[in-house]
Amino acid sequence: MKKVFNCLIVLFIVLGSFTPVHAKKSEGKQEEGIQWYEEGLFEGLNNKKNESASMSYQEYAVVLSHLFGVDEKEVIQKTQEVTDDSVHLRSAIKQGTAKNILTEYLPSQLEEPLDQWEGSDKPLKRKDLLQLLDGFVDAYYNEPGEFGGQQIKGNAWINASGVTISESTIDGDLVITNGKDILLNEVTVNGTVYIDEELQNEVSTVNSDLNRVLVYDAAEKASDWSLVWNDEFLAEEIDSDKWTYDIGNWIVDEYGEGVAAGWGNNEKEYYTDSSENSYTEDGHLVIKAKKEEEPITDKFGSYDYTSAKLKTKGLFSKKYGKFEAKMKLPEGQGFWPAFWMMPEDDVYGPWPTSGEIDIMEAAGGDTSNIGGTIHYGEEWPNNTYTGKEYHFPEGEDFTGYHTYSVEWEPGEIRWYVDGELYQTLNDWFSKGENQGDQYAYPAPFDQEFYMILNLAVGGWYGGDPDETTEFPGKMEVDYVRVYELTGRDYREPVEPVVEEETLPEDAKQPLEDGNFIYDQNYEKEITVVDSPEKTLDPTYWNFLKLPDFNGQGNLTIEDVDGENFAKTAITNPGNALWSLQQIQNLPVLKGHTYKVSFDAKSNTTRNIMTKVSGGAERGYANYSGEKTMGLTDNLQSYEYTFTFKQDTDLAARLEFNLGSNGTAPVWIGNVRVEDITDQVGEDTSKPALGDGNLIYNGTFDQGDMTRLNYWELSSKGEADASVVVPESTREAEITVENAGQQSEDISFTQGGIPLAENQEYELTFDGKASDARNLQLEVVSEDGSVQYFSEAVSLTEEMTGHTLEFQLPEELSGEVGQLRFLLGGEDGDVALDNIRMIQTSVIVAPIKFQNGDFSQGVEPWESYIHFDASADVAVVDEELKIAIENAGNETWSVLTEQKNLSFSKGAAYTLSFDAKSTLARDIEVTLENANYTRYLSEKVTLNEDMEHYEFEFEMVKDDVTSLKFLMGQVAGAHDIYIDNVRVEVK
């Protein structure tokens, strides 16, 4: 073979090379004779040769070299690679071989016309190739120049540098195989633009309408993934049909009111849609983070940095697929670039119950790695996440171009860097606020998500910029592409199964009393970690005050009521909750339930946050949910339990986070963590859900993957029926095979419903039937022997809502009962959904509001002063006085609250109080639960005169709330006085 190849090279040198020239097919009928492709592609060949004559390897190589703008040597090399036959340049080439060679250069999507040559041993004739080209290429650009005003009815082909096409329309495809500095100016392409991968940044567009752009690598093997959406950033401006923007620094509610600063992440930048912060350049998207000479201001505050955050929300979203971007990232402390995804609609509730997929995020201070993460679980702050870091090979980092992607299938997400798989996740969950069970797996990652590209400045991920940070920072994106899986079916989701695990012998073992916390009495030296280089003691207590978060303080041991306590004295609370931490490592096993308990106090009212989490290697994943504890100057006991749902972690961390909450000291003692898995029995009680609903899983989207938890279908005698809940509809579809004789022969039932004597109820549901039919509903006693309510409902083929009202008798045979849908005795399949049953007669719980006139001092009122504020709270002359020196940056930087106020759904209440301020200003009064859901939010204007304020409101659900006075975010020192606070049932 080597001898043959050398002969080919010699012949090639003798024949020389040919320079193609531009020619364009006319719109009218061509005259007989030399065609455009003979003038260009066939230049240098013997064009008087009979069209029925066979083509030689040499002739075919010449044509392909002109068509694709490649060296003929390369064509000969490809010829050697794709055929096992001996190749002689002047011998005839077979059609099958010609097809195999051409596919080495052609996008796979354009190979269909070549199928006629597949496996053929017939010699390729010139007319065969002429017919192929004549049917495929209508315009051929193979020399530099500007070509304008063209109406091309078929396909066009470019393989030269310096080609500009202006004010033209191409009805078919445009194929670009070679060249540089190619410009499409006011060009419409109705087909697809195919661009060789090596040229993707050599093509630019101005005011052009390109139906679809596909960058191809002809040498790439066929993939199971097919491109469905992409942006190659060829246009002079960012495509507004593909990208929109987030603006500002705050998460806001539907009314434009601020919910959380720094996008909830302590970010410092203000996002804009300005071309100063995001633009296209040389076929790339550039997101630029700048340090402004003058701060940017809005109604919430001022910001020293600007950047951009682009998203496809409302324009493109997808459930399952492959999502990838090629980009390079900025180096510098405080830069936080990210490529991530959020749900198009919050199907399962607020963040992160509806999920978040972080394809790539990086901390600019460490260019050696990036992270990939999912966020899920319960509503913040009881959320959790799982992730892993990818570490670049030696000599590489994220400042060079790399491709970051996820492949997302039902029940599995895989992360890649440059095609290398580094993480696979398939275990997660979602649980909403008012439901009895988790959403059925694979929720929340079974809905449409949109994509986000942003470059943040500062924030929790990598800390804030410092004096070493060089601005501007640039995140450069070569392309973003999304693929559908077409080469095979998507995998079927498999619900995770928790296998019983035990602690390995080399793990930290519980003490004899079951406590995983060693040195409970603080008798050993505590390890101080005050620099990133220092590591945690894996067994005993640690005190962390890392410089990145500016926390300053000291931990000492003090006697409290005869027992040793760890006292943290705080001189600077820092910029994060974890600026100061007391930590001890402990093992936690997947599927096990743990109880955390401790005693704590301060010298005033203040909060601390505690949780069990993973370490750096686990992305600091939140295992237990964040538990915020309100301390007072009295020693109190605190506890919480959690079930660990992630992979076993033998080096988990019990954290007490003491930063970002003022300088009041904290005492902590008697800390215990116990495995109580064997003590936790199955809870079969079914109290009313948080919104008052007595029906569990009435939406058929919870529990295991059957989505039928809490429901039972039963049949009597010859009756027969089955029920399924399709993933697509999330409706209970009951198929009646044999209706039997009586309505009660088929029953769809939920039991364990708590009932109250002589109370009024409302039952609502959606229902339809395959044919018009009746459905009997009844509420009965637990054993079914006593009927409390019964009514027939007519169903049609349309899904329709139904509402039934009833009152239970004065005497019940039991505290719980059943709801039954009776489907027997009548033919017709039935579908049910959105089943709810609520008690409409209001039973008002006592509010237990105390000391609104402050005659008993401060108790039980509590105050919170954020680290960016300074204020003193005291009772003076039986009025609450808040002496504010610095009100901080947030409305909640200074607040006073009374917690644990129970309100009843449907009840009407009145809130009233007197207040004044030595400085005319607004304050905000809210009633909100632990998840910051507000049931009342009012702004009032204070002045120097004590005035009376009064508001009426009705509760929409039963809940335990806090009444808060928010007094931050106002410049200037001043005093606020509050008195005569009353909360009463109207």
CB 636 within 8 A of CB 599: yes
**CA distance linking residue 323 with residue 319, whole number of Å:** 11
Contact in structure between 62 and 47 (CB atoms under 8 Å): no
Measured CA distances, 897 to 577, 630, 723, 851 (Å): 20, 11, 50, 12
Q: Which two tokens stand for residue 219?
A: 């040498």
- Distance, in Å, from the CA atom of 195 to the CA atom of 202, rounded to the nearest integer, reads 10
Q: Would residue 356 show up in a list of annotated catalytic residues for this protein?
A: yes
Strands 430-431 and 369-378: parallel
Nearest to 475 by CA among 205, 277, 200: 277
561-567 own/partner pairs: CB under 8 Å, 24+ apart? 561/635, 563/521, 563/669, 563/670, 564/521, 564/522, 564/523, 564/669, 565/522, 565/599, 565/667, 565/668, 565/669, 566/522, 566/526, 566/541, 566/667, 566/668, 566/669, 567/665, 567/666, 567/667
Q: Residue 568: name the closest of 667, 669, 670 by CA.
A: 667
CB atoms within 10 A of CB 193: 25
Strand, helix or coil at 94? strand
Is the distance from CB of 104 to CB of 126 less than 8 angstroms? no
Q: How far apart are CA 423 and CA 405, in angstroms?
A: 11
Peptide bond into 444 cis (omega under 30): yes
Residue whose C-alpha is closest to residue 817's, from 762, 755, 757, 761: 755
Q: Residue 592: exposed, middle, or buried by beta-carbon count in 10 A (0-12, 13-18, 19+)?
A: buried
| Annotated catalytic residue, options 202, 324, 344, 356 | 356
CA distance 610 to 505: 28
What is the Rg, in whole angstroms, of the alpha carbon atoms belonging to the chain? Answer: 35
Report the C-alpha gap between 402 and 393 in whole angstroms: 12
Q: Compute the distance between CA of residue 719 and CA of residue 721 in angstroms, rounded to an integer.
A: 7
Strands (E), 798-907: 800-807, 816-822, 830-839, 862-865, 870-876, 879-886, 894-903
- CA neighbor of 785 nearest in space, from 811, 752, 818: 818
Pairing of the two strands 151-152 and 163-170: parallel
Question: What is the DSSP code (8-state) at residue 892?
Answer: G
Enumerate the β-bridge partners of residue 712. Answer: 749
CB-based contacts of 3: which residues, under 8 Å, 6+ apart? Answer: none
The two three-digit tokens of residue 587, written as one number:
């093992």
Contacts of 905 (CB under 8 A, 6+ apart): 691, 692, 842, 955, 956, 957, 958
Contact 34, 21 (CB under 8 A): no
- The one catalytic residue among 72, 232, 361, 862: 361
The residue written with tokens 């809130």 in the block is: 911
- Closest CA relative to residue 894, chosen from 951, 954, 967, 799: 967
The residues, any chain, with a CB within 8 Å of residue 82's CB and separated by 6 or more, are: 97, 100, 101, 104
Q: Among this protein's residues, is 361 annotated catalytic?
A: yes
> Rounded to a whole number, what is the largest CA-CA distance in the chain?
114
Per DSSP, which regions of 362-518 are E strands? Answer: 369-378, 383-391, 402-409, 412-417, 420-425, 430-431, 449-457, 473-485
3-state class (DSSP) for residue 771: coil
Q: What is the C-alpha separation between 376 and 400, in angstroms, rounded? A: 31
Catalytic machinery residues? 356, 361
